[in-house]
């Protein structure tokens, strides 16, 4: 196997025997075959709604920490073979048609951006929001991978991926807010109750909606985990008394937190890990998520039957408490724009001197404590804008406010990154400049391929001088890195503008 798609890949080589994430060589091979089949499907003239679903969900299933179930990976490939005939080619063989490492690196960048795009588009589609041009670009991007393309061609395809990414994130924002309402400022409890509970993690809001409906009046509480935390700020979910609050932190802590939760857990998307035996029987997956030997809840005509999960909860002990401060969330673009006049005045008066976007993914390396140290060390006249699970490194810090404007503005899931774009553009308009002319820095933490798509989107929007960490992508060659540095000023995280503060990862 060779997989180097995430931030935790083994430095220098990539994962070549087993994944750091737990992916086996056998599963990696099956994913390579599936992507090979998706490339063939994208290159064929076959068009049908099922084909679009294979392209979108098939790619999403190969995203880091999404699907560890070889049988389900195989069944998608078999569905494709039923439509276009036998295909037996691996993506790694397609990519190695390029003997030039730099071209391969640009193709991997595109493939990983496409995976992120597919993941975000999947979420919009689940809520009934579709845009044929997005799946059209997925087709175009995948079918370009076997082609002999120049570096310039590949750079422009990557930029196009970023452009389509912005459109997709906007569509997802519309899907979420028109279905569940505009997120509201909300303080989320991290305390546990005395009833048995069900924990729901991942990004799929529709799964949460169905679970809340089906657990109403049963005496079972529902708690969010990881990227489901922002759901607590949507009016449509706040109506449910059985939505108790949030339990635990980011995905990488799940092996301890799922154990101490005591009740069943539903993993709706990435990031799910291969479970410990202590909670394997209580873990359920749904949607694109999967783990071999773990029960999977199927979607039948848009409805999921969670009765097995609810039955399992009935006999479980209530969750064991975890010490954590309550969390303030719900700063989507609407909430922030409602404060726009006060924010602009605060910038003009010098009360706010800088905004720092600290969005993206969390991960398990100890070096990621850097982000907490960084957030705490920022001067008191800076405001942090965040989205994604990266925030769990610092969202329980008491950072205070600036004249009533909170110093930590949490826009939601990584799926809500579009909010940060809207906020940055609104500030730029108010000050008659572009995003790079604002007192705005980007210190992005990444782990998986949705973050790659967000990065391509930021580059397409012309954002310069992004700090990226904890480590730069292992699939980027030194020459391509030089292009990113020279053209966009990308750098490994470590420093922020000198008038603020300087921190460096050891």
Minimum separation from the CB atom of position 449 to ligand SF4 (A): 9
Minimum separation from the CB atom of position 63 to ligand SF4 (A): 8
Q: Record the tokens describing residue 107, joined without a space.
A: 């193709």
Would you call 83 exposed, middle or buried from its count of C-beta atoms within 10 A (0-12, 13-18, 19+)? middle
Contact flags string 221-250 toward ligand SF3, x per CB under 6 A:
-----xx-----------------------
CA triple 287-322-368, angle to 5 deg: 70
For the segment 348-387, give every residue that binds ligand SF3 (CB under 6 A): 361
CA triple 162-333-348, angle to 5 deg: 105
Contact flags string 252-281 toward ligand SF4, x per CB under 6 A:
------------------------------
If contact means CB under 5 to 8 A according to the sort of partner, which of ligand SF3, ligand SF4, none does residue 197 touch? none
The span of 6-14, 104-112, 143-151, 437-445 binding ligand SF4 (CB under 6 A) equals 6-14
Residue of the chain from 9, 105, 242, 382 that contacts ligand SF4 (CB under 6 A): 9
Nearer CB in complex with ligand SF3: 389/402:
389
CA 380 → CA 110, 223, 356, 376, 419, distances in Å?
Answer: 39, 33, 12, 9, 23
SS3 265: strand
Annotate 3-14 with b (16+ C-beta within 10 A) or e (fewer): bbbbbbbeeeeb
If contact means CB under 5 to 8 A according to the sort of partner, which of ligand SF3, ligand SF4, none does residue 413 touch? ligand SF3
The answer to whether residue 66 forms part of the interface with ligand SF4 (CB under 6 A) is: no
Would you call 381 exposed, middle or buried from its count of C-beta atoms within 10 A (0-12, 13-18, 19+)? middle
The span of 20-28, 34-42, 176-184, 340-348 binding ligand SF4 (CB under 6 A) equals 20-28
If contact means CB under 5 to 8 A according to the sort of partner, which of ligand SF4, ligand SF3, none does residue 226 touch? ligand SF3
Contact flags string 257-296 toward ligand SF3, x per CB under 6 A:
-------------xx-------------------------
- The phi, psi pair for 455, rounded to 5°, reads -65, -45
Residue corresponding to tokens 């999977």:
296
Residue of the chain from 242, 413, 441, 443 that contacts ligand SF3 (CB under 6 A): 413
- Name, in order, each residue with C-beta under 8 angstroms of 429's C-beta and a sequence gap of 6 or more: none
Residue of the chain from 16, 20, 340, 501 that contacts ligand SF4 (CB under 6 A): 20
How big is the site for ligand SF3, counted in residues (CB under 6 A)?
A: 14
Would you call 277 exposed, middle or buried from its count of C-beta atoms within 10 A (0-12, 13-18, 19+)? exposed
Would you call 464 exposed, middle or buried from its count of C-beta atoms within 10 A (0-12, 13-18, 19+)? middle
- Does the CA dihedral 287-298-90-130 come out positive or negative? negative
Residues found near ligand SF4 in the complex (CB under 6 A): 3-6, 8-9, 15, 19-21, 23, 64
Residues found near ligand SF3 in the complex (CB under 6 A): 226-227, 251, 270-271, 361, 388-389, 413-414, 447-448, 450-451
């Amino acid at each position: 196997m060779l997989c180097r798609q995430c931030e935790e890949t083994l430095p220098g080589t990539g994962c070549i025997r087993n994944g750091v994430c737990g992916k086996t060589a056998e599963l990696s091979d099956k994913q390579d075959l599936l992507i090979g089949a998706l490339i063939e499907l994208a290159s064929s003239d076959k068009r049908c709604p099922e084909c679009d679903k294979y392209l979108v969900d098939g790619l999403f299933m190969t995203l880091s920490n999404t699907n560890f179930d070889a049988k389900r990976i195989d069944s998608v490939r078999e569905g494709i073979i039923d439509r276009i005939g036998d295909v037996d080619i691996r993506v790694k063989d397609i990519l190695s048609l390029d003997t030039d490492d730099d071209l391969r690196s640009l193709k991997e960048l595109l493939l990983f951006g496409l995976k992120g795009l597919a993941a975000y588009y999947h979420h919009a589609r689940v809520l009934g929001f579709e845009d044929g041009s997005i799946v059209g670009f997925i087709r175009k991007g995948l079918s370009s991978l076997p082609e002999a393309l120049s570096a310039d061609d590949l750079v422009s395809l990557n930029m196009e991926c970023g452009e389509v990414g912005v459109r997709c994130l906007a569509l997802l924002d519309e899907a979420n807010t028109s279905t569940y309402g505009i997120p509201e400022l909300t303080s989320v409890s991290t305390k546990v109750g005395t009833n048995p509970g069900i924990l729901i993690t991942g990004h799929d809001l529709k799964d949460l909606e169905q679970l809340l409906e089906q657990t109403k009046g049963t005496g079972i509480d529902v708690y969010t985990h990881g990227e489901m935390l922002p759901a607590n700020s949507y009016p449509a979910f706040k109506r449910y008394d059985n939505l108790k609050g949030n339990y635990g932190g980011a995905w990488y802590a799940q092996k301890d937190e799922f154990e101490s939760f005591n009740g069943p857990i539903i993993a709706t998307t990435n990031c799910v890990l291969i479970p410990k035996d202590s909670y394997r029987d209580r873990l359920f997956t749904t949607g694109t998520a999967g783990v071999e030997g773990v029960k999977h809840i199927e979607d039948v005509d848009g409805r999921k039957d969670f009765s097995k999960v609810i039955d399992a909860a009935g006999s479980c002990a209530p969750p064991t408490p975890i010490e954590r401060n309550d969390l303030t969330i719900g700063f989507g673009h609407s909430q922030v724009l409602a404060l726009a006049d006060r924010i602009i005045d605060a910038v003009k008066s010098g009360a706010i001197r800088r905004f720092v976007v600290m969005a993206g993914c969390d991960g398990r390396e100890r070096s990621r404590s850097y982000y907490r140290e960084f957030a705490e060390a920022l001067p008191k006249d800076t405001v942090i804008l965040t989205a994604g699970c990266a925030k769990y490194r610092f969202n329980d810090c008491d950072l205070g406010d600036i004249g009533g404007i909170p110093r930590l503005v949490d826009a939601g899931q990584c799926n809500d990154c579009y909010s940060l774009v809207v906020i940055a553009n609104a500030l730029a308009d108010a000050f008659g400049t572009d995003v790079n002319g604002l007192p705005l820095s980007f210190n992005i933490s990444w782990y998986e391929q949705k973050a790659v798509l967000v990065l391509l989107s930021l580059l397409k929007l012309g954002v310069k001088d992004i700090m990226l960490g904890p480590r730069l992508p292992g699939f980027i060659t030194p020459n391509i890195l030089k292009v990113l540095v020279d053209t966009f000023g990308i750098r490994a995280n470590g420093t922020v503008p000198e008038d603020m503060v300087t921190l460096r990862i050891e």
